[in-house]
Amino acid sequence: MAKKVIVYAICKNEEKHAARFMHSMKEADGVYVLDTGSQDNSAKTLSSLGANVKRSSVSPWRFDAARNTALSLVPEDADICVCADLDEVFSKGWRRKLESAWGEKTQRARFRYVWSVLPDGSEGTVLYLDKIHVRHGYEWRYPVHEALIRTDGRAENPDETAYVPDMTLFHYPDPGKSRSDYLPLLELAVSENPLDARCIHYLGREYMYAGKWKKCISALRAHVSLPSSMWREEKSASYRYMARAHIALGQTAAAENALFSAIAQAPHLREPYFEMAKLLLHLGDAPGAYSMILRAIRIRQRPDCYVSEEEAWGDEAESILLSSKQRIIAEFSDIPV
């Protein structure tokens, strides 16, 4: 039996993405958009292309409140709700693949998400999202980096999640858009959820982006110490971000220690070995750098998670390998064998 599939989204000044977005979402039975205060022609353009648009401000601003308001626009009889952003595009045929995977007990769906597309058009960072769900029983939570949460208090049942690996959502972010509101919203998220490992990790990472090095280190130390911090890959990333902050403060010994902890948390990841190799090469330890970059390059399977970073999988790894090898040869060439 065919399902009623509805896409819902939030929007602010997304006129230039509107046509591409609506073309991608045309396989749905309807598109509902909450315009939160566009000063361009976003609402008019989306409406002309068939979207159901409501204008409403969200004050004080928080992403979960906006998404929940957008969800409230979706008709009550919708079977499948698809949350998407205006800078995202589905692969062709996505609806058929989604319906094929959706079973009688399905409550939400998990699918491929290409978070970054490289300049040559190839996929960068790939992860899996689960922001497709039934009409009732879910809400968005957290002021920023919001997550879809069940409202009945029950844990997610794997048997109720449909996996649609051949359906892909591509992200084409606007580099000109400011993320200045992220830091205060993350500070708010941690004040509301002081023991939430996810919130604290994101806050520490945002402090790193903002160059607030001491706050970055403090927050990420708190993250790796929390009993609720169970995801080893994310803890490894926290140690890597701490290392970057220590390097910025001139604390190279502390950075090295942090990177050893990053490796210990997730020895299967390429990223911590790569960053350790960069640091050791900078410190003049060519043999150490060579050893670490070899370990990194031997890891050939890139994980589908957001803590994987493109830099470790690009040409720089080979460049570090060559530089460290050349320095070793130059340093030890005059030693008699």
Tokens of 260: 């050893």
Nearest residue to 65 (alpha-carbon basis) of 189, 169, 196: 189
Fill in the DSSP letter of residue 284: T
Fold match flag (5-171 vs 182-332) = no
Q: In the chain, which residue ranges form alpha helices assigned H by DSSP?
A: 15-24, 42-48, 63-72, 94-101, 182-192, 197-209, 213-225, 232-248, 252-265, 271-282, 286-298, 316-332
Residue whose tokens read 């960068």: 124
Contacts of 176 (CB under 8 A, 6+ apart): none
Class of domain 182-332 as given by CATH? mainly alpha
pLDDT in 10s for each residue of the chain, 337 residues: 689 999 999 999 999 999 999 999 999 999 999 999 999 999 999 999 999 999 999 999 999 999 999 999 999 999 999 999 999 999 999 999 999 999 999 999 999 999 998 888 888 889 999 999 999 999 999 999 999 999 988 888 889 999 998 999 999 988 878 788 999 999 999 999 999 999 999 999 999 999 999 999 999 999 999 999 999 999 999 999 999 999 999 999 999 999 999 999 999 999 999 999 999 999 999 999 999 999 999 999 998 888 999 999 999 999 999 999 999 998 877 655 4
Q: What are phi and psi of 281, to 5 degrees?
A: -65, -40
Per-residue burial over 296-310, b if 16 or more Cβ lie within 10 Å, else e, is bbebeebbeebbbbe
> Do 268 and 250 contact (CB within 8 A), yes or no?
no
Closest-CA residue to 46 (of 76, 74, 23, 28) = 23
Ranges of each domain in the chain: 5-171, 182-332
Amino acid in position 189: A
Claim: this prediction has a pTM higher than 0.85: yes
Please choose, from the candidates 335, 243, 307, 242, the residue with its C-alpha nearest in 3D space to the C-alpha of residue 280: 243
Q: How far are the Cα atoms of 26, 74, 95, 169 from residue 92, in angstroms, in the given order? A: 10, 23, 8, 10
Handedness of CA 285, 287, 290, 293 (dihedral sign): negative
Both tokens assigned to 334: 């005059």
Could you name the CATH architecture of 5-171?
Answer: Alpha-Beta Complex (3.90)
Burial class (CB in 10 A: 0-12, 13-18, 19+), 14: buried
Cα angle value 165/138/167 (rounded, 5°): 15
